[in-house]
Amino acid sequence: MDIAIAGAGIAGLAAASFLRRQGHRVVLYDQLDKPAPIGSGLIIQPTGQAVLSALGLSEALARRGARIDRLFGRAARSGRVALDVGFGGDAYGIGVHRAALFELLFCEALDAGVEFEPAHEVVGVHVGESATLEFSDGQRSPGFDLIVDALGLHSPLVEREDPFLDYGALWTNIPLTENMKMMPNTLEQRYEGARKTAGVMPIGVMANGPPLAAFFWSLRRDRFAQWQADGLDAWKEEVLALWPALEAHLAVIQNPEQLVFARYAHHTIQNPVGRRLVHIGDSWHAASPQLGQGANMALLDAYALAKSLSQTTDIDAALGAYKMLRQRHIWLYQTISQLFTPFYQSDSRLLPWLRDCIVTPVSQLPPIAAVLSSMVAGNLGLDPSAIKECACRPA
C-alpha cells in the first residue's frame, strides 16, 4: 500500500519503520523543516523495550540510556515514603533523553527507506477513493491508501475540548557530576502534599557528552506567569526548602530559558479508526506522565498497527483488529492515570495524606506490590499477542 504518516514523533517514526519494512511505500510528513524532538527525558518501560527490540534498536538504546530499577518518592516534611515501586524480576526501565530516542528512530526510518516530506503543516484530511492530506498553504498531498495520524495531542484531525490538566511541570536536563547526590538507578522525587514535587532521574548520554539527568518541578499552569515574574532565585529557594540535596543540581541552572514548561493533558477519543484513517499515540490517547507510559503506549500502537496490517489486505478489517488489540490496554491505563494523578498533582489536602499514610504502606504488601510492578512495567492488562512476535519483515 501507499501510506502517509502525519507527524515525525515517536509513534510516527516507529510506525513508519515497521510499515516500510513490511514492503509498503511510506511517506512521512512533518511541519518542521527538519524533524526534531520536543521534550526532555522519558522512561522506556519493558513494553517499549520489546517494541524497540523488534526494530533491532535494543543495544543502541542501552548504550544511550540509563537503567532505572526503582521509582521512589518521599514526603519532604514528614519523611514518609510516598512512592516505592520496583519493576520486579529481571525487568527494568531505561531513562533516555527524548532527543536520543528520536535519533535512533529517525535513523532507523531512513535506513528502512521511509520518504520524508518536511515543512508540511497538516491541517486536514479528505477521504474518497483514496485519502489526501491538506496542508496549511492550501496544497494537498497525493492520494494514499491509508493515512496514519501521529500528530499528537494537538492533531487537527481530532476534535476535542480543552484536555489540559491544572498541573504541568518545568523540565530541564542537567549534566551529572560527582557532587550531585542521587539514588542509583532511580527516579527519585520529593513532595509537599500534592502541590509541590521535585524529581530527578538519569537519562543516559547524548552523542559523546556527559551522563545526564532530567530535573522536573511540578507547577500549576495558571501560575507559570507568576513563576516567571518571581525570578529564578526565588524559585531556587522554594526548591531547596523542599529538597536541600538539590543544591548542586540547581547551580547548573543559570537562566529561566533552560527550563521548559510542559502542559499535561488527559484525553481519549472514542474511535481511533475511520475510513482510510487511523490515530496512534497521543492523537488517540493522552495522559499525564505520572505512570511513565506515554512513549511506550505510542510504540505499542505503532507495533499493533503494523501487525494488524500484516495479517490482511482488507484495510477496514486491519484497522478493526488494531483497535481491538489496543483498546483494553489503553482504557485500563487511561483510567489508572486519571485516578492516580491527583494523588501527586492537585490542590487536594486529603489525597496526599491518604497516599502517605494508607495507600503507600498497603502497596508494599506482596500481592499489591506485584500488581504495581506490572503496572509500572506497562504489562498490566496487555494482550500477550500484542508484542509476542516481530511485526516487521525486512524488505
Three-class SS state of 74: strand
Dist. CA 367–CA 167, nearest whole Å: 32
> Which residue, chain included where needed, has cell 513563576?
227
Annotate 18-65 with three-state secondary structure.
HHHHCCCEEEEECCCCCCCCCCCEEEECHHHHHHHHHCCCHHHHHHHC
Dist. CA 236–CA 62, nearest whole Å: 33
Which residues in the chain show pLDDT less than 70? 35-39, 385-395
Of 266, 286, 291, nearest to 344 by C-alpha is 291
User: Are 115 and 144 within 8 A, CB to CB?
Assistant: no
For residue range 250-285, what is the model confidence (pLDDT) as tens digits? Answer: 999 999 999 999 999 999 999 999 999 999 999 999
pLDDT for the residue 37: 64
CATH fold of 2-37+100-162+267-386, please? FAD/NAD(P)-binding domain (3.50.50)
- Sequence-distant (6+) residues with CB within 8 A of 146 are 1, 2, 3, 4, 131, 276, 277, 278, 315
User: Are 43 and 185 within 8 A, CB to CB?
Assistant: no
Dist. CA 109–CA 13, nearest whole Å: 6
List strand residue ranges (DSSP E) for the chain, in order.
Answer: 2-6, 25-29, 41-44, 66-68, 70-75, 81-86, 93-97, 115-117, 122-127, 131-135, 146-149, 164-175, 186-192, 196-204, 212-220, 260-265, 267-268, 273-274, 277-279, 285-286
Dump the DSSP string for 140-163.
Answer: BPPPBSEEEE--GGG-TTS-----
C-alpha cell read off for 111? 535506513
- Sequence-distant (6+) residues with CB within 8 A of 369 are 85, 88, 363
The one-letter code for the residue type at 106 is F
Phi-psi region of 56 (alpha: psi -120 to 50; beta: other; left: phi over 0): left
- Sequence-distant (6+) residues with CB within 8 A of 324 are none
Distances in whole angstroms, Cα of residue 15 to Cα of each of 12, 79, 86, 205, 302:
5, 44, 30, 25, 4
The set of long-range contacts for 127-131, using a CB threshold of 8 Å and a minimum separation of 24, is 127/274, 127/275, 127/276, 127/277, 130/276, 131/4, 131/275, 131/276, 131/277
- Sequence-distant (6+) residues with CB within 8 A of 243 are 76, 190, 198
Dist. CA 82–CA 352, nearest whole Å: 8
Dist. CA 172–CA 186, nearest whole Å: 17
For residue range 28-56, what is the model confidence (pLDDT) as tens digits? Answer: 999 988 766 666 899 999 999 999 999 99
**Residue 61's CB: how many other CB atoms inside 10 A?**
20
Q: What number of helices (H) and strands (E) belong to the chain?
A: 12, 20
The one-letter code for the residue type at 351 is L
